[in-house]
Structure formats: structure tokens, C-alpha cells
Amino acid sequence: MNYKKLISAISDELKVLEDKGKVASYIPELKKIDPGKFGLHIATVDNKSYGLGDYNEKFSIQSISKVLALTLAFKIDDNKLWDRVDVEPSGTPFNSMIQLEYEKGIPRNPLINAGALVLCDVLVSHLKNPREEFIEFLRNISGDPNIDYCYKIFESEKQTGFRNAALINLMKSFGNIKNKIETVLDFYYHLCSIEMSCKELSQVFLYLAAKGVHPATKIEVVSPSKSKRINAIMQLCGFYDEAGEFAFTVGLPGKSGVGGGIVAIHPGEFSIAVWSPRLNKKGNSYKGMRILEFLTSKTESSIF
Ligand code: GLN
């Protein structure tokens, strides 16, 4: 693939692409972002790097960190994890409570909020200092010591996370949360508050494009079998009740966050991160999805 030509075609497409949707406002700190920001970065398995726009600017990765939490929890807990969280698409919004009641506190998948809260509970059970060890895990994968939490976002979410509190309390009532609710929630809000640029994000996620081994640092983050399964979960569950639409229009495993970021993986080829803060009604970046659709259509690089 000629990535330089591709970046220039995307740049032309951006000039005509409308930008619809709204910046997330239910977390007050996220409202402050300039809605006109746009960044894109591609990192390839042969360690090439291509960026466009604000690709070096850090933003709140929000739910994209759920994939990284899944990676560490799956690595530590192995297949025991699946006794406590399922691998089925939810077809419901990321913070929905409906299924959780009739499915007896077992979340549909690890990439909705309820599922990620279970991942956090697993990590809190296994790690001595979850916050420090988790951020170190990311810094090691990428070889990038600058990845960090944002305490303003953390505080803002903690003050307003009523639905997450409801989800975790419901799961605790079914016995699916082992640690103290406050401890697990605190760790969850830390994960949501991680900031990275498109460049950093696409580089961290490269291990999923290379069967679990990070091409730059050569670290085996997870086994090839686990890497394949994490990609499968992203494909089916990474966009909540819009996972079908993302598979249909883009055709890559990926994950979105309400900060307007999207990461997508082409196994064997590249990892791409896009950031545009205006979200569609399902809470996914409007422009981010359109640009990824343009990219995979133009280059015929969907996995299907
Ligand atoms: N921090 C957000 C929440 O818990 C994450 C949601 C998202 O990015 N989809 O509500």
C-alpha cells in the first residue's frame, strides 16, 4: 500500500467531508475540547509511521483503554476470565443496564462498561499497585514513558459516574465483583482518563496487528491465540450497538471511545488511530468512522 498517497487522499477527502454530531458532555471535562480537532496516524508492522493533522496531540482515550485492560486481564487470568464475562455483542449502548439484570450480573462482553468493570476487578485482585502497574504495562509495550493518566478527567468522571456506580453495584449483588466497589471504580476511572496522541495509540496497539508481539519493542504482549481472540472481540463488540455498522462500512476490528478516538487493526499490516471529538448518536466519532470507511474502501483493505 502506498501510505503517503493514502494520507494525501484522506487530506483531500477531509476538505469535503461534513462533520456532524456532538462532543460528549456527560463527563463535564470532555466538553472543553475543541470539536474541530482532527488527527490520524498509521503505524505499520514494519515500523513505518504516517500522520495527518493533530496526530501528536494527546486526548482522552476513554473506552479504548478497555482493550488494553482486556489484554492484561486475559494474560493474567487466562480462560477463567470467561466465567465472569461473555464474548457476545451486546446490541445495547455502552452503559446500558438492561441485559445485566436478566443475565444475572454477567456482562455481555469486556468492552462495554459493565464488562470493563469486571476486568478492573480481576486486575485489582491480581496486581499489588494496579494504577502504577497498569500504566507501566502500557509504557513497556510501547517503549514510551510519557503515557499517563489525566487527573482532571479522572475527577470529573468520578463526580458524575452514577451509571457506572449502578452497574458495579448490580454486579456485586450477583457476586461478580470480588473487591471493594470504591477501589474497583477508582481504578476504572483511572483507565478511562488515560491520554494518548493518535501516534502513541497506533503504536501501542501494533501488537494486535502482529500476533501479539510488538514489532518495535519485540515484547510478546500476549500469545498469538490471545491476540486473535482480542481482535475477534473488538470486531464484534468494539462499537457497542454500532458494531455491525462498523464491520459493514469499515471492516476492521476496532474500538472507539467517547473522547472521539477510534483505533482499528489490520492484522499483518497496520494499526490506525483517528481522533475527531464530535460523536454520532451511538457515542462513536462521526468523522472517525467516515474516514476509516473511506480508507478501507479506497485501499480495499477491509479484512473481508
Ligand atoms: N468513561 C466512559 C464511561 O464510563 C467511557 C465510555 C466510552 O468511552 N464509551 O462512561
- Does residue 304 sit within a domain? no
CA of 259 from ligand 1 middle (Å) equals: 8
- What is the CATH number for 119? 3.40.710.10
Phi, psi of 292 (to 5 degrees): -70, -35
Please report the pLDDT score of residue 282 as a whole number: 94
* Residue 180 within a domain: yes
Is 94 within the bounds of a domain? yes
Q: What is the pLDDT of residue 231?
A: 98
> Given this model, what pLDDT does residue 142 score?
87
pLDDT recorded at residue 226: 98
The atom number, within ligand 1, closest to the CA of 64 reads 8
Helix (H, G, I), strand (E, B) or coil at 102: helix
Using most ligand atoms within 8 A of CB, pick from 164, 192, 262 the residue to mutate for ligand 1.
192
What per-residue confidence (pLDDT) applies to 34? 96
| Residue of 261, 272, 279, 277 whose CA lies nearest to 294 | 272
Q: Is residue 167 part of a domain?
A: yes
* 146 belongs to a structural domain: yes
**Side chain identity at residue 148, one-letter code:** D
Q: CA-to-CA distance for 233 and 110, rounded, in angstroms?
A: 8
Close Cβ partners of 74 (under 8 Å, ≥ 6 residues apart): 81, 222, 226, 229, 230
Whether the Cβ atoms of residue 289 and residue 250 lie closer than 8 Å to each other:
yes
Q: What is the pLDDT of residue 1?
A: 80
Burial class from Cβ neighbours inside 10 Å (0-12, 13-18, 19+) for residue 303 reads middle
Q: 9 is in which domain, residue-wise? A: 3-296
Total-model pTM: 0.97
Mean pLDDT by 10 residues, the chain (304 residues): 93 94 94 96 97 98 98 97 97 93 97 98 98 97 93 96 97 98 98 97 97 95 98 97 96 98 97 98 96 95 92
Ligand 1 centroid–CA 269 distance in Å is 29
d(CA 213, ligand 1 centre) in Å: 28
Nearest Cα to 173, choosing from 246, 256, 104?
A: 104
Distances (CA, A) of 282 to 22, 235, 246, 265, 285: 11, 16, 11, 21, 9
Is residue 242 domain-resident?
yes
- The C-alpha cell 499490516 sits at 269
Ligand 1 centroid to 3 CA: how many Å? 32
Distance 192 CA to ligand 1 centre (A): 7
Q: How many residues appear in the chain?
A: 304
Q: For ligand 1, what atom is nearest to the CA of residue 240?
A: 9
User: Closest residue (by CA) to atom 10 of ligand 1?
Assistant: 95
Place of cell 455498522: 245
Residue 302 lies in a domain: no
Question: Residue 303: inside a domain, yes or no?
Answer: no
Euclidean distance between CA atoms 179 and 186, whole angstroms:
12
Cell 439484570 found at: 101
Number of domains in the chain: 1
Do residues 201 and 260 make contact, with C-beta atoms less than 8 angstroms apart?
Answer: no
Ligand 1 site, CB within 6 A: 62-63, 94-95, 113, 157, 164, 192, 257-258, 283
> CB neighbours (10 Å) of residue 300?
8
